[in-house]
């Protein structure tokens, strides 16, 4: 169908009479069938998390995390710490500028691989930086010329949080992938990598064994307490343990 609306209006066209007579213009008639051009984008994000592993933790617990990706990481191993209260609304959703700005301010320092991992894993709620420390890397597949993982690349690593009941650190394996496309074998590769990470976590000298993961439920709103040990202002209202250093928070 010709795109009549793209043509100049007759009044603007010197070749046409300035004021056409009624005989040359009829009323616009709605066609019997509207011809539509369809547009669509299908984004596919997926991921997996393992059971938790309870760790016998000391003051250097967090320092153990990057080592759990040795042998699996195909890029630099990055540590993404829990977000303090000023970033409590951060979400990778560009249509919500306040949340998006918080997210960019919190994560622009990370690599394209880490940001891609966070977009995927936060979008599917597999990690929550209100309480998780996330250690991640590229695990499988390719990156594009800008350094961002392709849709079928698998990213992920270890997410750790402090168990609110015991104060133990709980580690779980996390993998994710996705974008503008999907491939049938990515799920299988992801499952294999998840098992590899869990094996590494269990092989750590401080691992005490598998445990059911009860992730803290972060409450939206005013956030929690300032850690007397490290000064971290938690966005996690119910926290008994500082998400950043794991020390017990003192209630005022």
Residues that bind Zn ion (CB under 5 A): 227, 229-230, 232, 242, 244-245
CA distance 189 to 80: 24
Taken as a whole, the chain contains a residue count of 252
Task: Report which DSSP code applies to 85.
Answer: G
- Residue 51 CA, distance from chain mean position: 20
**Residue (182 or 247) nearer to Zn ion, CB:** 247
Q: How far is the CB of 239 from Zn ion (least distance, A)?
A: 10
**Residue (192 or 229) nearer to Zn ion, CB:** 229
**Residue (77 or 227) nearer to Zn ion, CB:** 227
Q: Spell out the long-range contacts of 220-223 with Cβ–Cβ below 8 A and sequence spacing 24 or more.
A: 223/85, 223/88
Q: How far is the CB of 78 from Zn ion (least distance, A)?
A: 20
**Residue (203 or 230) nearer to Zn ion, CB:** 230
Q: How far is the CB of 246 from Zn ion (least distance, A)?
A: 7
Q: Spell out the long-range contacts of 226-230 with Cβ–Cβ below 8 A and sequence spacing 24 or more.
A: none
For 99, the enclosing helix (H) or strand (E) is helix 97-107
Q: How far is the CB of 59 from Zn ion (least distance, A)?
A: 11
Q: How far is the CB of 45 from Zn ion (least distance, A)?
A: 31
**Total Cβ atoms within 10 A of residue 120:** 27
**Residue (63 or 230) nearer to Zn ion, CB:** 230
CA distance 76 to 235: 28
- Residue 119 CA, distance from chain mean position: 3
Q: How far is the CB of 244 from Zn ion (least distance, A)?
A: 5
**Residue (134 or 232) nearer to Zn ion, CB:** 232
- Helix spans in 124-165 (H): none
**Residue (84 or 176) nearer to Zn ion, CB:** 84
Q: How far is the CB of 230 from Zn ion (least distance, A)?
A: 3
The two three-digit tokens of residue 221, written as one number: 């709103």
**Total Cβ atoms within 10 A of residue 201:** 25
């Amino acid at each position: 169908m010709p795109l009549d609306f793209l043509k100049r209006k007759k009044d603007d066209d010197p070749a046409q009479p300035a004021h056409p007579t009624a005989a040359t213009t009829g009323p616009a008639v709605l066609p019997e069938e509207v011809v539509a051009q369809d547009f669509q984008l299908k984004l596919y994000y997926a991921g997996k998390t393992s059971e938790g592993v309870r760790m016998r933790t000391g003051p250097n617990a967090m320092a153990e995390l990057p080592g759990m990706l040795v042998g699996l990481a195909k890029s630099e191993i990055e540590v993404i710490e829990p977000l303090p209260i000023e970033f409590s609304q951060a979400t990778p959703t560009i249509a919500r500028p306040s949340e998006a700005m918080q997210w960019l301010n919190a994560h622009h320092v990370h690599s394209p691989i880490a940001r891609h991992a966070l977009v995927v894993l936060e979008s599917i709620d597999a990690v929550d930086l209100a309480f998780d420390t996330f250690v991640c890397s590229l695990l499988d597949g390719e990156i594009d010329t800008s350094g961002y993982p392709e849709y079928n690349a698998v990213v992920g690593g270890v997410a750790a949080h402090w168990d609110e009941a015991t104060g133990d650190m709980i580690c779980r394996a996390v993998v994710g992938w996705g974008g503008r496309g999907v491939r049938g074998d990515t799920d299988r590769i992801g499952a294999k990598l998840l098992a590899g990470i869990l094996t590494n976590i269990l092989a750590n000298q401080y691992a005490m064994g598998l445990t059911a993961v009860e992730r803290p439920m972060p409450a939206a709103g005013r956030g929690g307490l300032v850690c007397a040990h490290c000064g971290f202002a938690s966005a996690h209202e119910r926290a008994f343990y500082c998400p950043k250093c794991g020390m017990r928070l003192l209630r005022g």
